[in-house]
Amino acid sequence: MSIQDWGAIGEAVGGAAVLVTLVYLALQLRRTSRVAHRQTYNAGAEAISRFLFELAENPELHLLYRRSLQEPEKLEKDELLQGHTVIESYFSLMEGYYLHNFEYGEKLAQERWSRVLRRLLSMPGGSVYWAQNRWKFHAEFAKYIDSLQTELKKP
């Protein structure tokens, strides 16, 4: 066997090794992506739970949140601004959760949060807040919230 034959065999073995390495890397990348997705999903759900827990633990904050949603016209200007900050925090959490799920398709979780958002938007303060602050959110999320509002207006 000539040196050229050995070289050809070496190239074939090297090419096969590169191919095996690429397949291995693709599988690892896929696995890592799934793990990262799960971690992001869990972090979003945990952040929303912490927000709701904070409302439950703080009666004054909870009352302000409820009044901001149900009776915004009865609040003083500074109370309304505080209430809008609380509502905005919730919308921001939901925006991150929505955008993450929109990309990865967590259908059942998305349906649950759609119901939560519909309830928020069905209250006078939630609707007023959204009308005044829609511009602050990602266009895709804003479009989604607008579609929920349209559904709520249907008889």
Q: Is the pLDDT of residue 106 over 60?
A: no
Amino acid 59: pLDDT: 92
- Is there a domain that residue 114 lies in? yes
What is the phi/psi pair of residue 34, to 5°?
-65, -40
Average pLDDT estimate for 124-153: 90
- Is there a domain that residue 118 lies in? yes
In the numeric block, the tokens 């915004």 are attached to 72
Q: For residue 63, give its domain range.
A: 43-153
As to burial, measured by CB atoms within 10 angstroms (0-12 exposed, 13-18 middle, 19+ buried), residue 38 is exposed
* Band (131; pLDDT cuts 50, 70, 90): very high
- Is there a domain that residue 14 lies in? no
- Is there a domain that residue 38 lies in? no
Q: Which residues contact 72 (CB under 8 A, 6 or more apart)?
A: 80, 83, 124, 125, 128, 129
Amino acid 123: pLDDT: 87
CB atoms within 10 A of CB 102: 14
Cβ-contact 86, 68 below 8 angstroms = yes
- Is there a domain that residue 10 lies in? no
Give me the number of domains the chain comprises: 1
What is the phi/psi pair of residue 31, to 5°?
-65, -45
Mark out the alpha helices in the chain (DSSP H runs). 3-57, 59-70, 77-104, 107-122, 124-133, 139-153
* Band (107; pLDDT cuts 50, 70, 90): low
Amino acid 16: pLDDT: 78
Structure tokens given for 138 = 């990602």
pTM greater than 0.75: no
- Is there a domain that residue 35 lies in? no
Condensed to tens digits (0 to 9), the pLDDT of residues 40-96 reads: 777 777 887 888 888 889 999 999 988 998 999 999 999 988 988 888 888 887 877
* Band (102; pLDDT cuts 50, 70, 90): low
- Is there a domain that residue 110 lies in? yes
